[in-house]
Amino acid sequence: MLKSLLYIFGFLIAGELVSWLFQLPVAGNILGMLFIFIALKLKLISLKDVKPASDKLIKYLVIFFIPYGVGLMVHFNLIAEFWLPITVAVIFSSILTLYITAIILEKTGK
Amino acid sequence: MMQQFFELPVFGVFITLIAYFLAVKLRKRWNYLLLNPVLIAIAGIIGFLLIFRIDFETYNVGGEYISFFLGPSVVALGVFFYEKYEEVKQNLKIFILAVVAGGITGVLSVTGFLLLLKAPEVITRSLAAKSVTTPIAIEITRLLNGIPEITAGIVIAVGIFGNAFGPFILKKSGIKSKIAIGTALGTAAHGIGTARAFEEGKIQGVYSGLAMCLNGIITALITPYLLELFFRIF
């Protein structure tokens, strides 16, 4: 567990470092996610080295963004004022995203 | 007096944990979609803070200890992606093409609709990444100078919408392929959509999980450029 946690944080800090050094328009943790995927793919690290910590983090992932959801209360007025455009845009965009993704795979017989 | 107590980090941490714990119990008792544990936990905490007149900032002294773990969790998604990727041995070219097309559609269409409906720019910046998993969407919004809290709320709502209506919409549009249904759910409705995909079947679930991760990466890489381009044209 400790070793796998060290790997996760190691890749996280590597991502943060690269993002900061090169002033990239990509967050460090997203780079860390890419790096760990590549490292696994190239067999630089093995799945069992990182799996214990990563499984636990994924399991409790939803708890970690609760504070952001609570932060919505600060922006009640903005949401209340524009709830209609937000709802319409989000629903139609989601339907379009579902359809475009699915139709490509459906038409190619996947 | 009491305010000082609420500013202890343990208050924010404790109320978050207990709210989620109770929300999960509630969901187990009545398995009803709108009883999404995260949604209930958030609503419960907001209600508590309003009743006891506690500021969000005060709560977030402890809340930040919880949300700190979003960083390593995003890295863990890379591991999850690898595992799912290894499960699928088939040619993934068309799958990748579909997710890229869906990801770009998601960003451009929500941006376009909000512009047409004259929503303020800060909302557009906050919702551009609405299809991807919450931790990644929050990072994208931060980079775009949007409001991450709005992103978190809407992304959860999008997930619930996809979970509730996704399979119905797809079947009504004549989609029959299991891979197509799974991939579409993961691309459009991230983890909450993926939960539904697993209910539809194993193949749907695996493809949905893969699509969720891949769309997270794609959207993170392209959204800053797409949005700047968009705002420059319009």
Residue pairs between chains A and B whose CB atoms are closer than 8 Å: 315
| Residue B168, C-beta contacts closer than 8 angstroms, at least 6 positions apart | none
In the chain, the amino acid numbered A37 is: F
**Which residues of chain A are within 8 Å of residue B69 when distances are taken between CB atoms?**
57, 60, 64
pLDDT over 70 at B1, yes or no: no
ipTM of this complex > 0.85? Answer: yes
- Domain positions in chain A are 1-64, 66-110
**Nearest CA distance, A6 vs chain B (angstrom):** 10
**Nearest CA distance, B1 vs chain A (angstrom):** 23
- Residue-wise pLDDT tens digits, B18-64: 999 999 999 888 877 778 888 899 999 999 999 999 999 999 999 99
Q: Does B218 touch chain A (CB under 8 A)?
A: no
Tell if the CB–CB gap between A85 and B74 is shorter than 8 Å.
Answer: no
Please tell me the predicted confidence (pLDDT) of residue B36.
Answer: 83
**Which residues of chain A are within 8 Å of residue B45 when distances are taken between CB atoms?**
66, 70
**Which residues of chain B are within 8 Å of residue A85 when distances are taken between CB atoms?**
113-114, 117-119, 123
Segment (H or E) for A82? none
- Share the mean pLDDT of chain B: 93
CA pair distance A89, B55, nearest whole angstrom = 31
DSSP per residue, chain B: -HHHHHTSHHHHHHHHHHHHHHHHHHHHHS--GGG-HHHHHHHHHHHHHHHTT--HHHHHHHHHHHHTTHHHHHHHHHHHHHHHHHH--S--HHHHHHHHHHHHHHHHHHHHHHHHTT--HHHHHHHTTTTS-HHHHHHHHHHTT--HHHHHHHHHHHHHHHHHHHHHHHHHTT---HHHHHHHHHHHHHHHHHHHHHHH-HHHHHHHHHHHHHHHHHHHHHHHHHHHHHHHH-
Point out the least confidently predicted range of B86-90, B123-127, B195-199.
B86-90
- Residue-wise pLDDT tens digits, A29-82: 999 999 999 999 999 999 999 999 999 999 898 899 899 999 999 999 999 999
166-185 in B: which are within 8 Å (CB) of A? Answer: 166, 169-170, 173-177, 179-181, 183-185
Tell if the CB–CB gap between B75 and A36 is shorter than 8 Å.
Answer: yes
Tell if the CB–CB gap between A57 and B73 is shorter than 8 Å.
Answer: yes
Please tell me the predicted confidence (pLDDT) of residue B65.
Answer: 97
Q: What percent of chain B has pLDDT over 70?
A: 100
Q: Does B95 touch chain A (CB under 8 A)?
A: yes
**Which residues of chain A are within 8 Å of residue B191 when distances are taken between CB atoms?**
61-62
DSSP conformational letter for A45: S
- Length of chain A measured in residues: 110
Tell if the CB–CB gap between B140 and A12 is shorter than 8 Å.
Answer: no
**Which residues of chain B are within 8 Å of residue A101 when distances are taken between CB atoms?**
98-99, 101-102, 105, 180, 183-184, 187-188, 211
**Which residues of chain B are within 8 Å of residue A88 when distances are taken between CB atoms?**
113, 117
Q: Which two tokens stand for residue A11?
A: 């890749």
Closest chain B residue by Cα to residue A86: B114
* pLDDT band, very low/low/confident/very high, at B2 (cuts 50, 70, 90): confident
- Residue-wise pLDDT tens digits, B165-210: 999 999 999 999 999 999 999 999 999 999 899 999 999 999 999 9
